[in-house]
Amino acid sequence: MKTTLVIAAILLGATPAAHAFCGFYVAGSDQPMFNDATQVVLMRKGTRTVLAMQNTYKGPPQDFAMVVPVPVVLHEGDVKTLPKEVFADVERMSAPRLVEYWEQDPCYKEPERVYDMAAAESAPAGAMMGSAGGGGYQVTVEAKFAVGEYDIEILSAKDSTGLDAWLKDHAYKIPPGAEPLLRPYVENGSKWFVAKIDPKKVHVVDGHVALSPLRFHYDSDEFTLPIRLGLANSNGTQDLIVNILAPEQRYEVANYKNVTIPTNFDVTDAVRDKFPAFYAALYDRTIERNPGAVVTEYAWAAGSCDPCPGPTLSSETLATLGLDVLDAFTPAQQAAFEAAEAARIKLEASDYQNREAYQQALDRYQELAAKAPQRTQLWSMVLTRLHARYGKDITNDLVFKQAAPIVGGREDTGQGASPAGSNNFQARYAIRHKWTGPITCLDPQRDRWGGPPAGTQGDTGARPALGLAFAPRGAVKLEDVIARDVPEIAVKKRATGCGCQASDPAGFLAALLLGAFGLFRPRRRNARQ
């Protein structure tokens, strides 16, 4: 049985390494609890990280809790719950997409366009751019508060065995083998975010418990993704999807191989109703050819897409995910700013009796004010989606690095990914419908693709492959549904039929008639006969 962990991370900024979610579940019963789908949105700018996570799991809801390593002590104002819709927005935007194209009339001639140069020159710039005690465990309860259906405790521990014992003695069943996974985080000084659940406030749908998404933020120089801890709840192979959003920057991993998903090729009609299964087969073959690699599936500006499977990410979505606290002073900066402001106000109230001290306080206040983080602009954001699959043999947490822009998966780009000046890469696959109408001109222009002809029924928009955590495996054979070979992963299109091109009725008929004429015309008699 396979377990799936889906993580979406939004990183704002460029720091070398950060703590993020990949905790485990503990419960007050002996039944096993497996993490089968988690979405995490991680925002970062400078040293500030805002982490939002949505969890779905199978297991008993009684006395459930999440245990997540964090670098600092969190307080009540740092934690809140979120609507689930924001995670769907991010997933839909970066998901692999299936499109359909219809060949346009080969004899159609576009009317000449007359451009108003004066109007074009007057267009605005950018318009064309798309401490309670812990007993003898060496564990300290640093903070305790409630948010929504969660009762939250922030712990610090000096010893992993003590943390393990504290959780067990407080009626939580630690997954077997968790203590060695806790150890490196305890030794590194991590704090522990423990969120208990009130089972009366959770909803169970088809055996899956859906919890309200949580968001918290902190400041730390380090930046890594601790995925090893999630192995405590692993029941086999896990999928990890990381969505990264950063100003004008794409990301890759620094400590594993990077590959891009094969993209920009045509598929048959059979894929329309099996797109998630098709993509799962494509991804699995890519990993089979590149063991242990992390696959780039998307890198594009957050405010645009082509084709778009839905609305682009809005400023409201980003604000909900953490932009409201991202562009702000750190606690230390805020304290210094408030101290400087208090000193300035105090000296000002004394009728400037010490003008030199007042000027110094004013200078300090203005200096700190000038260092306030600048407002992050939506148009600058590049959304990167990384996808990994791993088992219990994983040895290292993920470390991200900046990567150069790439382009691929567009109608006017070749196969695969290539370097570019800006990021326009996506996992895109197309079903194409050849022109079947009459061809009445002498110079038909073939392979001009566009939207459906009038009267076409059904949904003809871009289809995203959502819920890949639960996509069926083995339901699609790539060789049967691809329209060309995919040499990147050594997949060849299965030969079918006679290989005839019957998509041009007029051309096919002409060839047939010429062949018939050559076959049946009478032979010239020999002159000597």
DSSP 319-348: IIIIIHHHSS--HHHHHHHHHHHHHHHHHH
Rounded CA-CA distance 100/432 in Å is: 6
pLDDT of residue 1: 40
User: Is the pLDDT reported for residue 288 higher than 80?
Assistant: yes
Mean of pLDDT over the chain: 75
pLDDT at 500: 36
More confident residue, 343 or 83: 83
What confidence tens digit (pLDDT) does each residue in 38-78 have? 567 777 777 787 888 876 656 665 656 678 888 888 888 88
Contact at 8 Å (CB) between 36 and 54?
no
Higher-confidence position of 119 and 161 = 161
pLDDT band at 286, cuts 50/70/90? Answer: very high
- Tens of pLDDT, residue by residue over 351-375, are 556 667 767 777 776 776 666 666 7
Please report the pLDDT score of residue 35 as a whole number.
41
Q: Which of 137-141, 180-184, 329-333, 504-508 has the lowest mean pLDDT?
A: 504-508
Per-residue pLDDT band for 7 (boundaries 50, 70, 90) equals very low
> What average pLDDT does this structure show over 260-276?
94
- DSSP letter, residue 464: E
Q: CA angle, 15 as apex, 12 and 18 as ends, to 5°?
A: 85
Model confidence pLDDT, tens digit, residues 291-345: 989 999 999 988 888 888 888 888 888 888 887 887 776 666 666 666 777 776 7
Q: Rank 186-190, 234-238, 350-354, 518-522 by mean pLDDT and report only the highest.
A: 186-190
355: which 2 tokens?
Answer: 């003008």
Residue 116: pLDDT band (50, 70, 90) is low
CA distances from 347 to 44, 362, 367 (A): 37, 10, 17
Rounded CA separation 411/306 (Å): 10
Average pLDDT, integer, range 397-403 = 86
pTM of the model: 0.70
Q: For residue 394, name the pLDDT band (cuts at 50, 70, 90).
A: confident
Kindly tell me if the per-residue pLDDT of 404 is higher than 90. Answer: yes
Question: φ and ψ at 35, to 5 degrees?
Answer: -80, 115
Are the C-beta atoms of residues 57 and 100 closer than 8 Å to each other?
A: no
| Contact present, 167 and 135 (Cβ < 8 Å) | no
| pLDDT on residue 516 | 39
Average pLDDT score over residue span 143-156:
88
Looking up tokens 């002498």 gives 442
- 507 vs 141, which has greater pLDDT? 141
* Residue, of 173 and 341, whose pLDDT is higher: 341
**Per-residue pLDDT tens over the stretch 418-429:** 999 999 999 999
| Secondary structure of 45-73 in HEC code, one letter for each residue | ECCEEEEEEEEEEECCCCCCEEEEEECCC
The residue ranking higher by pLDDT, 527 or 281, is 281
Q: What is the reported pLDDT for 342?
A: 73
